[in-house]
Amino acid sequence: MRKGILFLAATLGVSVVGSPIQFSETSAVDNDMQTAIAASINGNAIVSGRLRSSDRFESGEYVQIDGVAKRGSDCSPKGLVGRDDDSVLLSCQFGVWQRAGGNINTVIRYNSTIDLDWSISTVSCAANETVTGGGGSCLRENGVAWFRRSFPHGNGWLADCYAWDDVMVTTEVWAICAY
């Protein structure tokens, strides 16, 4: 009889004031409660396990995030939200914990290679960085060096230059790395 009353209350909406209600695997409506519940809880509600919503989650005040992550470390799935040791908000972006919001820090990594006639140069971002762009240029004394190609290469950038007349050519390459 008690289960029927709670089930009926669950289908009509539940309003709880004061002490918390506890639903376990053996109480209330057993383990397969798939009923829509409109609950108004004035006080604390403690959920052990995962709390999932198929719609938005709203708070009338603040949201406390206890999950601490290390910026630059791997994460999954995309969209997780956490914080670092200094309480800076982090989100899982491209499989890496990064600062949430519009502040993206970047650094430019540079390399150059000198070789006879054909010069290829590569540069890589650090392990905690993600390549976001790059480029290259060609240099030689007296004459023309042809800029052949420039493209992302792994977590970095590659550029390649050519001079056809047995001269030294320098290929410069840079990668824009976000962290």
Domain of residue 87: give its range: 62-103
d(CA 127, CA 95): 13
Residues 114 and 67 placed together within one structural domain of the fold? no
17-49: pLDDT as tens digits: 444 555 544 434 445 555 555 667 777 777 777
Q: Which of 103, 133, 158 is the last residue of a domain?
A: 103
Are residue 67 and residue 52 in the same domain, yes or no?
Answer: no
The CA radius of gyration of the chain, in Å to the nearest whole number, is 29
Same domain, yes or no: 51 and 114 = no
Residues 113 and 153 in one domain: yes
- Residue 51 and residue 1 share a domain: yes
Chain-centroid distance, C-alpha 160:
32
User: What is the rounded CA–CA span in Å between residue 111 and residue 126?
Assistant: 14
Average pLDDT along the chain = 79
Q: Are 177 and 105 in contact (CB under 8 A)?
A: no
Strand pairing report for 156-162 and 146-152 = antiparallel
pLDDT at 151: 97
- State residue 78's pLDDT score: 84
What is the percent of the chain with per-residue pLDDT over 90, rounded to a whole number?
42
Contact 77/52 with Cβ under 8 angstroms? no
Tell me the mean pLDDT in the region 51-57: 77
